[in-house]
Structure 1
């Protein structure tokens, strides 16, 4: 195979008419598309294709070392005389690399090894070459150090059900540890409050998160500031923190020294020792905190807070989802907003803001609707008459847009509106689709002329299942008494909102009333949030995604026990990156992945969950936390997978899928098998997807620990940064260790407390030994400069299924055309927690031995103009064989294009005079890859573009011919907002 690309030529008539001739080359096939006039002979095109394809593949194979590595692997798995030759999965296959294998040796010498190297009889070329490189006095004897070890390989089919159940158990353990840490906070907070007696005159200096380390004009610490030691900590992404103390944040609209605040801060100081103890028990913890019902927020570790550009910190812990979910039960809510004539002007503005703030307090487990009323009732969203919708981000934003359209006129008939609200709640509850828990009516109005006791008697008494929360808008109190009576008669709460500044504090009060049943019954329910972005804890790639475990904190004092007083909520954050480290990526294969969803079907983690816009500004998408599984696994038209996981079932599912890679520019088609189960003690379910074919099989390789560690410590070796070979986070003394150092200590027994994945380590040691010859091979190519005519090749690289990589530079690092390649700056080019490198993925879908070529789309600058070539390495010459590695090279685009133009000057003329070439003014030549992106063109600005953008008519012709197929995919980024019922 010459690789996967298409070679396009178009012959232009002198009259500048449209394209007349076109040939495509895919692999070795050249097809004439059209042409009624004399053009380029087909034989010439085939000649050019053969010349270019043969040379570029030869260069790619030579510098990548693909033939050497493939033959070494086949030598390992080849049966020895007298052994079973079966290569079926599960049957052990043992063998020994034979350094004298003629084919293997020929590959070395043919590909640029040093000629004339004296070798003893029977000595491998690798050993002899190492001796020459090291010399007689450098390191241990090469014959001993590089002795070929005995190796064994076994291919097995992956048990997807067992795999997902094991993953669920690991996740369950992590979630349980975080929940226990939160429970200890709850117990300590309740005990501290129980022992405290409120003192309205208490004076207490505490560390205010905004004021710490601030000084006045005279250089003195400001009040509530003080000197607070902060040190950068790598566990918190080098944020400066204090691991001994917490800090307290008070909302901007509240007084820092309010007696309620000071008393609460005083007794909650007891949490400091629990924070520290939790962190010592579980060093993987990050933020721990207590959010008070009074409004203050205690956070550990201590960190300084900075106001925004307007000098304001808008954070109020009581508005956060973790607080609201823990403080209240799921609820069905109907919001009634008065739009009669008396609500004109400022009152309607305050009413809109009040409704918007109420929507902020609703979470994904809640359901709602908004009805405006005057002499008639008007559903704010006309399409949703007589029903409720889930209170996710998309739906709430949709309703906010409709609130802007409201205007005031006429008279207000509240009785009709109340009757409609009661009817909706009753009928929706009977469908079984709602929260099946609490129900409430929020009434936003400037007054009520009567009590409407007849309505309440008909719909709500004597059970009083629906609570009424009236919000009186404006300063006048003429009609306040009727509203207060409604609240008291229906187990609700009355609030008056006079200005926009009063809205948030008054709206929040209803939450404490809704929490009373839970408080009285002392139900310390553990709640878990959906994925959300923590703006404080960010890394190079931007803010971190996380979930929170939270529990309510109650007053246990005898005198208030039956009043149902909520003190606040304690919580702990869990970065999703920590959860992703538990995924056995080497078992999932190149295209496989793990994912988790909430009880509402929203994604907790998934490779296609991208919370930020890819525009370089790291802007958050508005609905990133409520992306439904059906929006990324969109081929499941009947939501079979989603519904089974929401119902917390254990099972399997299969379907054909199209997965986009390279920023959505390319599509890989495959058949996935899904395996799923629930995570006990949480509202989450987890699944794994395995692609059929090579993705269903894995191999177990075995080498000696000594040999593996020796080759693992070579300077050209690196391990996947985001994979966990050993857990170095659980013990403080291990945090300074690299993964390779940790592996060495674990495998030699020097650190018995290290928790490591022995199976993964065994695979990576095997990979280190098997790929070790590449180091000498690449070094030989680099040193043999006198015979190296391929000056455009810059890097050779290798990646294995166990996350091991090797690289070799053929030019100095500062002369690389694309210095971001194989670094964290190009995330698609390296092993990540949720995906293999792009060059590995694409190579795996080609015929083994065929190279796939592309221009990285991040290479926008001229000095980054490169071409990548990669090919997959199979363990066995068998369809069921796993892809164990991929190798490739990076070469200069100019070098690659020069080879192309040179090839296109050849012809079959005996005198060597070619009448036709790509140099001709009336011929346009293109080289495009297997996804129709231009690799070579006479117009440099078109390089990297989709061919259809440049030659749309020709692209259509290629589609009609079947040379390319149009692939349509759906991505949740581009979906228009939809209402989820």
Structure 2
């Protein structure tokens, strides 16, 4: 927080000078925006720093200067941009000093209201070595301002204008965050809600995607009825529930249209006589309609008027309203300068893999001199630093919680961070990563209560008997978990620690314990005990050894190559002692202690066939399903190799947990297991069940996966879900309550974009419509991927019954079956009349594997929204805000980009809409505040 404050103070000194600088057109050196391996001829007025690979950032970095990012659709030679480049250059010294005071700082960023982002240390914005053919559509303003939205669409617009409005609505929806509320209605002869939402809904990723789909289906018909459209919009705003928090702060309606003669004065007089709802209007397309009425609507209702003549103007003009809405916040001054934390984001500068980040935000205001001028009532920008979730994780004693223990935090919306199930696959870093706590875990009533208490900032403890999904998401176990939670001081987060009963205590070791253990086992030396058993050339003598790839020491980096990491660890221990200050002493000592104890197991295994050579399980036991499941079950766990059509390698692994009891404390110290050869066991099983054609004998595990069978043709299906092999029998096992099913959704998946099939000959053809980014990216056909929802069904035992029997009634025949759970295992033996004896019992296969899904019905979810808390601060009005009497400062899109995009106009959709938005900002405008942005 000290660093953040120093940044803010120094910047405010420079802010007061920016008014004068904005009148000058100053050419200043600019950090090149070329790719790191660009071969383009260098321009004389650009600075090209020397970049070096940095271990902390894992990319090319220069600590000698800052770098600047300017959105693709902003002309970098405009006076405003050049002046901002000039005065923000002073931030370099501040950023560098912050880094010296706190070397752990990552990116330091100033995000301007015009879209310019200056960050330190400098780094090429895109590295074409890692992201070839990637178009840059990043805009820092899309990450700074959350807001709610309600949309209306006029159904009387058609052709290119309609397509242009569709695209404008989508861009407007993208400016909203989870603190905002939105709905879409369209109107022609009458006003109709575009989707099934009866009221404004939270503008989360799922609802926005649903609204975009609804907008895409709007077609042109009838005539424009502004009165009906505005009346429905006002009714939507008036129906907001007080429990929606910030939704009562600002109320805004936005109208997208091509013009009209009607002013709807009586509607405004009836619903908005006090001017508490602001109207923003957008004239869309190139036409000759009268713009006066929609200009009057905006200016009479404290709003603003914009023009969107082409696609190139959409992105800029759909976010220009933020300047207007920010003026009361500027006038609130210090009251509005609060540190804020955003949702989790992927770092835009590191595209190789996901790094989840939080931004600490402090708004800066341009309100120094000439404060009576409207252009000085703008939000200047936001100062931010990145906080890596990985850095937070390293501060926690993860390996003392046990494999099934974990911690997480949630924000006022109920979204988690630091949760082990938060693992997004979405490649679009522009979208925030949002996962609700009740979606991250299997929901029950007690967890709903825990979530509510945490959002309210309460401290508490609950013990829950709950369902737990396995690491590989194929199984569900019932186990006991202890939830302890409390608010995080100085933030709106709440932190929770979750532990199973066997992780309430852990073993703390010292180097003395390893020496004592060495004497106990009567070994000649400590080095022989530990080091010898970990040497690769001693595996035949001591057994194959793998160590978890953890950060045992700060200067010993984990490796994905098991053998390589083991050799590195041995070499490190030979050179340095475990008590090295750079090492996690407790973690190293526990590893050495385990190595010494388990080295004696080789006496039991020496005559067995070694399995280390083809061991495919994750060496990190904290990430292994077999290990974590064994801890939650006091039985033998049999797990077949997951089924794959293109492999004949099959095996069965059996695991059991060892328990140590000391006085009144007990905990689980290890999992032991054996890998079984499937061919040998299948031969024995077939012989034992007397290979008969009229009887099927199978053994299933507790997830419904085939472990063993009495037919040769089933050998290749070991590990496959039984619902794909004998669906009708599996259905009856579920109906008899042998198995219970649970459907779960993954909201973090990535799918190939949908390609809609052509419609009937008489109908319109439906095609996949690429986005702006797709058009500009020459590799979009090969690399397109989008976030999606997938569903998966898990089967599990949910009762203590041991024996089940019944009859399958089909059309012309029947099949009898009998099932028995096998004692002290997770297996069930099923004998039934053979599937071949009754082929009329055909049934659609049951799909257990993950598959794309529409997810739960968003309409039903909107009727019963989950509990959340909106922001406390509200800046909806301020008497000191001065009405504008001139055009606001604005940036025009690049001429080339506008021209290029206008050629592709026929590929896009657009819409007339009336948008209702609630914000923590407001505006006071006069009738002459009209903007005419010519994008081409």
Compute the TM-score of the two structures, normalised by the length of structure 1: 0.65
Q: Is the 2:513–2:593 contact (alpha carbons within 8 Å) kept by the matching residues of 1?
A: no
Query: Residue by residue, what CA displacement relative to the aligned partner does 1:676-719 show, whole Å, maximum 9, x if unpaired?
Result: 22222323222222234x24444555662784997777773887
- For the pair 1:581 / 2:378, whether they are aligned, the reply is no
Tell me how far apart the structure 2 counterparts of residues 318 and 685 of structure 1 sit (CA, whole Å).
27
- The residue that corresponds to 1:534 in the other structure is 347
Superposed CA RMSD in Å reads 4.0
Q: Is the 1:213–1:225 contact (alpha carbons within 8 Å) kept by the matching residues of 2?
A: no
- The residue that corresponds to 1:404 in the other structure is 216
Q: Please, which moves more after superposition, 350-359 or 415-424?
A: 415-424
- The residue that corresponds to 1:593 in the other structure is 406
- The residue that corresponds to 1:375 in the other structure is 189
Query: Residue by residue, what CA displacement relative to the aligned partner does 1:583-605 show, whole Å, maximum 9, x if unpaired?
Result: 43344334222222221112223
Q: Is the 2:150–2:253 contact (alpha carbons within 8 Å) kept by the matching residues of 1?
A: yes
Q: Is the 2:185–2:193 contact (alpha carbons within 8 Å) kept by the matching residues of 1?
A: yes
For residue 498 of structure 1, report the CA deviation from its aligned partner.
0.9
Q: Is the 1:214–1:226 contact (alpha carbons within 8 Å) kept by the matching residues of 2?
A: no
* 1:224-623 → structure 2 map (5 Å cutoff): 227-236=48-57, 238-306=58-126, 312-320=135-143, 323-325=144-146, 331-340=147-156, 343-381=157-195, 383-385=196-198, 387-428=199-240, 433-449=245-261, 451-462=263-274, 464-476=275-287, 479-522=290-333, 523-534=336-347, 536-537=349-350, 542-560=353-371, 563-612=376-425
Choose from 934, 937, 951 the match for 2:706. 934
Tell me how far apart the structure 2 counterparts of residues 229 and 897 of structure 1 sit (CA, whole Å).
61
Q: Please, which moves more after superposition, 281-290 or 919-928?
A: 919-928
Unaligned runs of 5+ residues in structure 1 are 1-176, 326-330, 613-617, 730-736, 796-815, 824-829, 906-915
Q: Is the 2:363–2:382 contact (alpha carbons within 8 Å) kept by the matching residues of 1?
A: yes
- The residue that corresponds to 1:658 in the other structure is 467
- The residue that corresponds to 2:487 in the other structure is 678
- The residue that corresponds to 1:628 in the other structure is 436
Q: Secondary structure at the match of 2:592?
A: helix
Q: Is the 1:332–1:434 contact (alpha carbons within 8 Å) kept by the matching residues of 2?
A: no
Task: Return closer, same or farther for 1:455/1:741 CA change in 2, 3 Å cut-off.
Answer: farther
Q: Please, which moves more after superposition, 664-673 or 480-489?
A: 480-489
- For the pair 1:871 / 2:638, whether they are aligned, the reply is no
- The residue that corresponds to 1:884 in the other structure is 669
For residue 650 of structure 1, report the CA deviation from its aligned partner.
1.5
Q: Is the 1:519–1:566 contact (alpha carbons within 8 Å) kept by the matching residues of 2?
A: yes
Task: Return closer, same or farther for 1:227/1:276 CA change in 2, 3 Å cut-off.
Answer: same
* 1:802-817 → structure 2 map (5 Å cutoff): 816-817=613-614
Query: Residue by residue, what CA displacement relative to the aligned partner does 1:383-411 show, whole Å, maximum 9, x if unpaired?
Result: 334x2111111111111111122233333
Q: Secondary structure at the match of 2:593?
A: helix
Q: Please, which moves more after superposition, 489-498 or 415-424?
A: 415-424
- The residue that corresponds to 2:914 in the other structure is none
Q: Secondary structure at the match of 1:595?
A: strand
Tell me how far apart the structure 2 counterparts of residues 896 and 376 of structure 1 sit (CA, whole Å).
68
Q: Secondary structure at the match of 2:320?
A: helix
Equivalenced residue count is 712
Tell me how far apart the structure 1 counterparts of residues 663 and 647 of structure 2 sit (CA, whole Å).
42
Q: Is the 2:226–2:263 contact (alpha carbons within 8 Å) kept by the matching residues of 1?
A: no
Q: Is the 1:467–1:487 contact (alpha carbons within 8 Å) kept by the matching residues of 2?
A: yes
Task: Return closer, same or farther for 1:535/1:657 CA change in 2, 3 Å cut-off.
Answer: farther
Tell me how far apart the structure 1 counterparts of residues 51 and 430 of structure 2 sit (CA, whole Å).
33
Which has the higher Rg, Structure 1 or Structure 2?
Answer: 1
Q: Secondary structure at the match of 2:254?
A: strand
Q: Is the 2:707–2:719 contact (alpha carbons within 8 Å) kept by the matching residues of 1?
A: yes
For residue 509 of structure 1, report the CA deviation from its aligned partner.
0.7
- For the pair 1:773 / 2:597, whether they are aligned, the reply is yes
Query: Residue by residue, what CA displacement relative to the aligned partner does 1:253-279 show, whole Å, maximum 9, x if unpaired?
Result: 222222211221222222223333333
Task: Return closer, same or farther for 1:966/1:878 CA change in 2, 3 Å cut-off.
Answer: farther
For residue 640 of structure 1, report the CA deviation from its aligned partner.
1.6
Task: Return closer, same or farther for 1:719/1:283 CA change in 2, 3 Å cut-off.
Answer: farther
- For the pair 1:689 / 2:498, whether they are aligned, the reply is yes
* 1:735-884 → structure 2 map (5 Å cutoff): 748=579, 751=581, 761-762=585-586, 765-766=589-590, 768-769=592-593, 771-775=595-599, 777-778=601-602, 788=607, 790-791=608-609, 793-795=610-612, 816-818=613-615, 820-823=616-619, 830-831=620-621, 835-847=622-634, 852-857=637-642, 862=647, 865-876=650-661, 881-884=666-669
- The residue that corresponds to 1:83 in the other structure is none
Tell me how far apart the structure 1 counterparts of residues 649 and 348 of structure 2 sit (CA, whole Å).
32
Task: Return closer, same or farther for 1:557/1:315 CA change in 2, 3 Å cut-off.
Answer: same
- The residue that corresponds to 1:146 in the other structure is none
Query: Residue by residue, what CA displacement relative to the aligned partner does 1:532-564 show, whole Å, maximum 9, x if unpaired?
Result: 33364356xx42333322222222431248732
Query: Residue by residue, what CA displacement relative to the aligned partner does 1:887-928 show, whole Å, maximum 9, x if unpaired?
Result: 445x4x6x45336636876xxxxxxxxxx7768888877565
Compute the TM-score of the two structures, normalised by the length of structure 2: 0.68
Tell me how far apart the structure 2 counterparts of residues 414 and 583 of structure 1 sit (CA, whole Å).
58
Query: Residue by residue, what CA displacement relative to the aligned partner does 1:469-502 show, whole Å, maximum 9, x if unpaired?
Result: 1111234576334433433333322111111211
Q: Is the 1:212–1:227 contact (alpha carbons within 8 Å) kept by the matching residues of 2?
A: no
- The residue that corresponds to 1:911 in the other structure is none
